[in-house]
A and B are shown apart, each in its own frame.
Chain A
């Protein structure tokens, strides 16, 4: 498979490290000069940008977390004035306020190049018809790969998410050759194809590029068999950039190459915050090396993985990370959307004025995540009239769906049920034990 930027993706490691150090020093000077919260944090620790003389020195720098985003909401972490910002995206915050990210024109260029790398590594060329079934909008998934596919010169069908039957009709009629979405949605598509009586031979699909949620090797095998494609994984998060941070190659399909010329990565012990040696599992921490609008120093991703350098058959020299195996916080990913239980709590409180007991139940039906919120039918939300009762349920449903950005099914349950079945403090029941099931099978 062609490599989109061999001069960087296959750079000798020692040269790569020189490049990283050069860029790290530059980004530190920029944030120290232009971003008050960083300056303050560094001053508190008595560190000046020039004190960082090697890549190892990075461990002396303070971390950045999602809380920093919240405290500096919306634009406090930007390193350039607003007139330089050409795009804004956002993702779920732990409370009602979203996490805001901005891009300069050059950031968008960088991002497109990185997603072009992702697509190339996954087999896509200018002759392909790229079917993007990620949601467009504030979520970075859709746009990220859209611009990369455009950069490569492929035909882009910006289908966005949902309307599965129509998606299949489009794939069949328009001859889509590459599918971009979450891995579970790919399986859901396979399921709906079966229902509709559409065989994979009627499609021209060759490649699938999947991300935005964790998946397994067995899921990969199932997707590949059922859709007749080659499936690769890619990783990213909007705070850092969006998709394009790391990506698998078709040759190895094992481990995601991190775009090290743009991101400096570490793995830490989430408890002690100490750096861990390569090969050990811990929390991934990323420092952006080239971002202009929103550079991040030692951003704690909360994703658990390991990083390791090995000779890869594709020829890329970039360090690899394993598929993330979980989170160090209570965030859950539903249909590729990040959700914090605290968001549900806030939304319920807004409706009834009281905070009823609730449990978030996530399940997977026909390979599609289903988000249910079970709410105890307390006096404040119970009505004798069926019509009023249903209106209340509709109201809660609408409010939660709006607040979370994912279709939510609200179930009223009798007051004692929740406590009885799962104990008072438990807020999330994740029934998608797909990770377990798949590995067993």
Chain B
């Protein structure tokens, strides 16, 4: 089902005209309200008037996560705080998170985009949505929540974790739609089986999965295990949260990016040049309707390609392919974005010195597990087992407290971790995606 027939099936020409109009308005907005953008645009000699076509967008400099960090917390907002009705945050590359703000209209836009996404997946107001994305500063939970409310479905805001309870709820409350990360969907199927419930026997019929990359193979597995239709959804909090792009249930091939709100481009991450149509590269997004925090040519660091062929669902918005990987060292662990530099900062803060360490990520069953191996040198060693245990717990707690993920800290003997010449390799990712 198409939630917003008018805008989602706008003829290409009209769509591009709308994009241009909105792009101009956005550039005008940031030029006059955000010193950072004004400086950047002035440097390359662009004024709001000099944007004549969508092609002109390419003249505008990129915006990156570093720009968000340097303008922390509210430096890129175009409106005063009293017009901001919501603040979310995501992982930054260091201890400071990336902050995003929303006006009342931004929340409206976001809800609309999520209503479109849920509808594209076939969800209607008759459905009971079990929302197992984490609620809180992470945009996943509340994004789905507001979209579901907009279409008038029943929302069960379970949030993440407590898997057995998730199964009880699914069974007893009769959930028909599940929203979470794809790996958690697999994990829940395992838990259901352990509890003696065949996942195919639940009333579940659709799942919207996102916040981490997954494969066609994984989709088949999820669809088979649960006997549902599994839909991929994409978004990032800097842009708005979930609801930037979504697959349609008809094609399940490529994610329609809502072009009346976002302009996507694909660039070569090394040179920053635009790549020819169809090639894989880094996705760059310009928001054209956001009020509080518009972003010009934001580098998502996600690798994908554009698909312009018409889709059987009738939407005219182009599609992006499933995300293939990242152009930076960001890790996605149980749907949480983690930068190795964040863990390093915590180790230094906990011990005063930076020990040799290694982050090892694996998948146990279908859940990501992280082990941080830390070498025990003389400065840390104690003869008493309990002191060592306490140290390990302390690092675990600090990581949990600052980053929000549970890790297992394993103390290892000195010199056991591999040394590298030049840039040290700190991460071993054993997950097969």
Contacts and interface: CB of A to CB of B under 8 A. Distances in A.
Physical interaction between A and B:
yes
Interface of A: 73-74, 82-83, 85-90, 96-98, 100, 102, 105, 126-127, 129, 135-138, 142-143, 150, 153-160, 162-166, 169-170, 173-175, 402-403, 405
Contacts of B149: 86-87
Contact of B135 (A105, A158, A169, A405): A158
A155 B83 CA distance: 8
Given A83-B125, A86-B152, A170-B89, A97 B163 contact: no
B156 A158 contact: no
A74 B85 CA distance: 35
B173 A136 contact: no
Given A137-B159, A164-B401, 14 more contacts: A82-B154, A83-B126, A86-B153, A86-B155, A87-B154, A87-B155, A136-B157, A138-B156, A157-B87, A160-B136, A163-B400, A163-B401, A169-B96, A173-B73
Contact of B157 (A89, A155, A170): A89
Interface stretch (B115-123, B164-172, B224-232, B358-366): B164-172
Nearest to A100: B173
A163 B402 contact: yes
A137 B402 contact: no
Contacts of B404: 162-163, 166
Nearest to B87: A157
A158 B154 contact: no
B388 interface: no
Given A83-B125, A153-B85, A155-B81, A74 B136 contact: no
Interface string B167-183: 01100110000000000
Contacts of A90: 169
A98 B159 CA distance: 15
B86 A158 contact: yes
Nearest to B161: A402
B128 interface: yes
Contacts of B89: 170
B333 interface: no
Most B C-beta atoms less than 10 A away, residue of A105, A137, A169: A137
A361 to B, nearest CB: 19
Interface in B126-142: 126, 128, 134-137, 141-142
Interface string B64-106: 0000000011100000011011111100000111010100100
Contacts of B97: 166, 170
B158 interface: yes
Chain A facing B: main interface SS: mixed
B136 A159 contact: yes
Nearest to A75: B173
A158 B125 contact: no
A85 B152 CA distance: 9
Nearest to A157: B87
A325 B163 CA distance: 35
Interface in B412-431: none
Nearest to A89: B157
Contact of B158 (A97, A138, A155, A175): A138
Contacts of A136: 135-136, 141-142, 157, 159
Instruction: Select the residue from A100, A126, A129, A166 with max chain B CB neighbours within 10 A.
Output: A166
B173 A74 contact: yes
Contacts of A73: 172
Closest 6 CB pairs of A and B: A160-B136, A137-B159, A136-B135, A157-B87, A155-B84, A88-B156
Contact of A88 (B82, B162, B173, B400): B173
Given A86-B153, A87-B157, A160-B137, A96 B168 contact: yes
Given A82-B154, A105-B152, A174-B73, A155 B82 contact: yes
Nearest to A105: B152
The SS class assigned to the B binding surface is mixed
Nearest to A133: B136
Contacts of A142: 135
A86 B159 contact: no
Nearest to A405: B162
B153 to A, nearest CB: 7
A402 B164 contact: yes
Interface residues of B, number: 49
Given A127-B82, A136-B141, A86 B154 contact: yes
22 contacts: A82-B128, A82-B154, A83-B126, A86-B149, A86-B152, A87-B156, A97-B168, A136-B141, A136-B142, A136-B157, A143-B157, A150-B86, A155-B82, A158-B86, A160-B134, A160-B137, A164-B401, A165-B401, A166-B404, A169-B96, A173-B72, A405-B165
Contacts of B99: 173-174
A158 B146 CA distance: 14
A85 B88 CA distance: 28
B81 A137 contact: no
Contact of A85 (B96, B135, B154, B161): B154
A76 to B, nearest CB: 12
Given A88-B156, A402-B163, A158 B136 contact: yes
A402 B126 CA distance: 30
Nearest to A87: B155
Which residue, of A74, A136, A158, A169, has the highest number of chain B Cβ atoms within 10 A? A158
A400 to B, nearest CB: 11
Given A136-B159, A156-B86, A402 B165 contact: yes
A139 to B, nearest CB: 9
A105 B154 CA distance: 10
A166 B136 contact: no
B154 A402 contact: no
A86 B148 CA distance: 9
A365 to B, nearest CB: 13
Nearest to A347: B164
A129 B158 CA distance: 26
A96 B162 CA distance: 13
A299 to B, nearest CB: 21
B88 A158 contact: yes
Contacts of B400: 163
A157 B97 CA distance: 13
A174 B87 contact: yes
A73 B402 CA distance: 39
A74 B155 contact: no
B137 to A, nearest CB: 6
Contacts of B154: 82, 85-88, 102
Contacts of B398: 165
A403 B162 CA distance: 7
B158 to A, nearest CB: 6
In the complex, which of the residues A126, A136, A403 has the most CB atoms of chain B within 10 Å of its own CB atom?
A136
B137 A159 contact: yes
Contacts of B73: 173-174
Contacts of A402: 161-165
Nearest to B157: A137
Given A137-B135, A138-B158, A160-B135, A155 B152 contact: no
A154 B82 CA distance: 7
Nearest to A399: B164
A74 B72 CA distance: 46
Contacts of B163: 402
Nearest to B135: A136
B142 A158 contact: yes
Contacts of B168: 96-98
B163 to A, nearest CB: 7
Contacts of A138: 156-159
Contacts of B136: 136, 158-160
A160 B137 CA distance: 7
Contacts of B173: 74, 88, 100
A405 to B, nearest CB: 6
Contacts of B158: 137-138
A157 B137 contact: yes
